[in-house]
Structure 1
Amino acid sequence: MSFVLSLLVVLHLICWAVALGTWVAAARTRQPNPGMAHAVAGAIVTGVLMAVLVSIPGVIDGDPNHMKLGIKLLVALVAAALAYRARKTGPETPSAVWFGIPVAIVLNVIIAVFV
């Protein structure tokens, strides 16, 4: 079971890296790549799967931090909503939406590491 959990962690991190990388690649033109929204969605799916696995008794030592998991899910859903909105509006994406995407991604990583 620890291999599955480790594999999900790797996939989760790769999804966030792809989401941030595609944003950086499109930052100058503000023409969002559809992969950005899909990568955020993939990060949400793998994150939920990890949360389910760690909530099963005996998979990890100790209790999972459900408050942290809930906050991370909320921030990830915000990132997904912003990414899909940017994908829909294209280059005319408002600045608040466009720059909210990397802020939400980096905030999610900061919460994962420091909380």
Structure 2
Amino acid sequence: MNILFDCVLVLHLIGWAIVLGGTLTSLRAPRIAPGVLHGALTALVTGVVLVALKQGGAGHGDVSLAKMGVKLAITLVITGLVVVGTRSPEPVSRRLVGAIAGLTVVNVAIAVAW
């Protein structure tokens, strides 16, 4: 069970790396990079799976449901911003791309520091 948890955790981290890398490379010429939506959805789905696995006894330590709730809320906002940015006919602003990158960093910081 721990091997499954670790594999899903790696996929989760890869999803966040895609989101952060895609937005940071797009700050100069604001746009939503093609893989950012897939990265956000990957991070969202694998995050939910990680909490379920951890509730089932896999992984290390206990689950802080308050922490997971905050992280889920931030992830939903990030995913929503990415969806709006990819489906909007108007050009994407630097503020939107910066907000996605900033919220991603905040989500990672919460995971590490909380």
Answer yes or no: same fold by TM over 0.5. Answer: yes
Gaps (5+ residues) in structure 2? none
8 Å contact from structure 1 (residues 32, 87) kept in 2: yes
Cα gap change, 1:15/1:62 in structure 2, threshold over 3 Å: closer, same or farther? closer
Residue in structure 2 matched with residue 14 of structure 1 by the alignment: 14
Gaps (5+ residues) in structure 1? none
Structure with the larger helix share: 1
What is the CA RMSD across the aligned residues, in angstroms?
1.7
Residue in structure 1 matched with residue 29 of structure 2 by the alignment: 29
Opposite residue 17 of structure 1, the aligned amino acid is A
Cα gap change, 1:63/1:88 in structure 2, threshold over 3 Å: closer, same or farther? same
TM-score after normalising by structure 1 = 0.89
Moved over 3 A (4+): 60-63
TM-score after normalising by structure 2 = 0.90
Residue in structure 1 matched with residue 92 of structure 2 by the alignment: 93
1:62 shift after superposition = 5.1
1:27 shift after superposition = 1.6
Aligned length: 114
Render the CA deviation track for 1:33-81: whole Å, top value 9, x for unaligned: 231011011100000000001111x335653111111110000011111
Render the CA deviation track for 1:76-103: whole Å, top value 9, x for unaligned: 0111111111112366224432211001
- The structure with higher relative contact order (CA 8 Å, sep 6+) is 2
